[in-house]
Structure 1
Amino acid sequence: MDKSTSALAAAIGSRVRQERQSRGWTLDQLAEAAGVSRRMVVNVEQGAANPSVGTLLRISDALGIGLPALVDSPQPRPVTVTRSGNGAALWNSASGGRGVLVAGTESPDVVELWDWTLTPGDRHESEAHAAGTKELLQVRGGSVTVVVASETFVLEAGDAVSFPGDVEHSYANPANEPATFSLAVFEPGVGSGHRPEVNPTAPTTTEGN
């Protein structure tokens, strides 16, 4: 990881640990609630992992705070400005593609605004998000192929699409030029119980807390 990626990973890890400990959860309890391995939670909290967007969504949903809260200050603010170049790059491809979270709202009804760049041949596969999630995408430049469940849509600059985010979907650039698009994600009811609950009577351990 480069310096900026490492700094972001450390900030996310610190926030995850803070939120987990404030709930009195063990590593195992968070892992169970998020549906990820205990090792992944440990790696995320230590800033040693470069987790997928899907993994971060699972963890933030389990904590009931939403993805934007993992990369922003925990203090609620009525107005938040993200200057150009200061968004959180949560997805990077080997050839330079980037998925940058540039703005977001707090739970329970979380809205995320993303700025995506796909280099030629890039493809981002996304697992199904929480029930009720909606996505809106507009291509700003180049050509983007969006697959939603079994349907394929080829979008050119200026084209837009809205679709359910609670099914598997992907974004790809099969062309020879870079493609850019804006993406808005709406996830309702974060923290209201649409993810599995942590069992408060489950055995606990102090290891790694």
Structure 2
Amino acid sequence: MDKSTSALAVAIGSRVRQERQSRGWTLDQLAQATGVSRRMLVNVEQGATNPSVGTLLRISDALGIGLPALVELPRPRPVTVTRRGEGAALWSSDAGGRGVLVAGTETPDVVELWDWKMVPGDTHGSEAHSPGTKELLQVQEGSISVVVAGEAFILEAGDAVSFPGDVEHSYGAVGKEPARFSLAVFEPGVGSGHRPEATDA
């Protein structure tokens, strides 16, 4: 992990441990609530791993705090400004693609705003989110393929799509140029704990 990724992993681990302990939960109890293995949770809390977005969603949902709160410490102000370069990079590719969570709201109805950059060949697959989740996506540069429940849609710069996030879906860069898109995710009722079983080791 690079320095910024490592610092983010440590911050996330600290927040997970703090939230778990404030509920009086053991690691085994959190593992049962999330469907994530105890070994993975230990690595997350120690900041020793860069967990997948799916794993972070399971943990944040079980803790009832939402993904934005998990990756950013609470601030005592109603207005939160994220400056350029300050978002939480939660996905990256070997070729230089990045998925950055730049803003989010608090529970129970969580909205996440993402800035994605993908280079040709990059693909990110996402498991089904909690029931009722919706996603909105607009392409700023390049072309991307969005696959929702097995159906593919090719989007060019300026195109937008809305789709249910509670089915399997993926994004991928197509063509020869890098692609950039904004993604908004609406997840109602965070903390209900109704995610499908995890497969993370």
Code of the residue aligned with 1:132 in structure 2: it is: G
Letter aligned with residue 83 of structure 2: R
2:89 corresponds in structure 1 to 89
Identity of aligned residues (%): 83
What letter is aligned with 1:68? P
Q: Give the match for residue 137 of structure 1.
A: 137
Task: Give TM-score scaled by structure 1 length.
Answer: 0.91
Alpha-carbon distance between aligned partners in 2 of 1:50 and 1:67, rounded to the nearest angstrom: 14
Q: Kindly indicate whether the alpha-carbon contact (under 8 Å) linking 1:139 and 1:158 is maintained by their aligned counterparts in 2.
A: yes
Which residue matches 2:199?
Answer: none
Pairwise CA distance, 1:72: 1.2
Letter in 1 for 2:103: A
Runs of 4+ in 1 over 2 A off after TM superposition: 74-77, 192-196
Task: Give 3-state SS (helix, strand or coil) of 1:136's partner.
Answer: strand
| Stretches of structure 2 lacking an aligned partner (at least 5 in a row) | 197-201
Cα distance in 2 for residues equivalent to 1:127 and 1:58: 11
Aligned positions of 1:67-86 closer than 5 A: 67-86=67-86
Aligned to 1:42: 42
1:155 equivalenced with 2:155 (yes/no): yes
Verify: 1:170 aligned to 2:170, yes or no.
yes
Q: Describe how 1:178-193 pairs up with structure 2 within 5 A.
A: 178-193=178-193
Q: Output the CA distance in 2 between the equivalents of 1:114 and 1:195.
A: 21
Kindly indicate whether residue 66 of structure 2 is the aligned counterpart of residue 66 of structure 1. yes
In the TM superposition, what is the alpha-carbon distance from 1:150 to its structure 2 partner?
1.6
Name the SS of the counterpart of 1:77 in structure 2: coil
- Contact 1:139/1:160 (<8 A) preserved: yes
> Which residue pairs with 1:14 in the alignment?
14
SS at match of 2:174: coil
State the secondary structure of the residue aligned to 1:4: helix
- Output the amino acid matched with 1:178: P
Give the match for residue 126 of structure 1: 126
CA contact (8 A) 1:108 1:192 kept: no
Report the Cα offset of residue 194 of structure 1.
Answer: 3.5
d(CA) in 1 for partners of 2:7, 2:173: 29
Q: Is the 8 A contact 1:135 1:164 kept in 2?
A: yes
Structure 1, unaligned runs of 5 or more: 197-209
Q: Is the 8 A contact 2:99 2:116 kept in 1?
A: yes
Aligned equivalents of 2:40 and 2:76: distance in 1? 28
Deviations for 1:127-178, whole angstroms, at most 9, x for unmatched residues? 0000110000000000000000021100000000000000000000121110
CA distance in 2, matches of 1:82, 1:136: 20
Larger Rg: 1
1:173 alignment partner, SS class:
strand
Quote how far apart the aligned CAs of 1:74 are: 2.4
Q: CA, structure 1 residues 193+58, in 2 after alignment: closer, same or farther (shift >3 Å)?
A: closer
Shift of 1:76: 4.9
Contact 2:33 2:193 in 1 (8 A): no
Cα pair distance change 1:110/1:39, threshold 3 Å: same
Q: How has the CA–CA distance of structure 1 residues 143 and 15 changed in structure 2, closer, same or farther, with 3 Å as cutoff?
A: same
In the alignment, residue 67 of structure 1 is paired with which amino acid?
L
Q: Partners in 1 of 2:2 and 2:73 — Cα distance?
A: 22
RMSD, matched Cα: 1.1
